[in-house]
Amino acid sequence: MNLRRDVFQAIADPTRRAILLLVASQSLTAGAIASNFDTARPTVSKHLQILTECELLEQEYNGREVYYHVNPKKMKELADFIEAFRKLWDDRFNKLESVMKKYKTKK
């Protein structure tokens, strides 16, 4: 449970969300990512560390360079949280609709 909450905390920060968007389409080095932000380089590194720790980002080594890319599996899991919640309410409301349709014809 703890780990999952961390994923939510990870995406609660606007800079970290921007980082995820940035690397969604391409792998980038920490330097290339940092150049997109006004924030200090160590701050961006910290964000990358958090995103990597909760497995939203993956590192890949290319020579001496470290490239970051999103982990689609983990991102999918994140989307599934909301989807499960939505499904619960959708089922509940479908039930409401069918109960009330029956109620209407009974009258």
Residues contributing to the site for other proteins (CB under 8 A): 1, 4-5, 8, 11-14, 17, 80-82, 84-90, 92-97, 99-101, 103-104
We find the least distance from the C-beta atom of residue 60 to other proteins, in angstroms, to be: 27
Nearer to other proteins, 40 or 99 (CB): 99
Beta strands in 6-100 (DSSP E): 28-29, 57-62, 65-70
Q: In what order do the strands lie in the sheet with 65-70?
A: 28-29, 65-70, 57-62
Nearer to other proteins, 62 or 84 (CB): 84
Rounded Cα distance between 19 and 22, Å, is 5
We find the least distance from the C-beta atom of residue 59 to other proteins, in angstroms, to be: 24
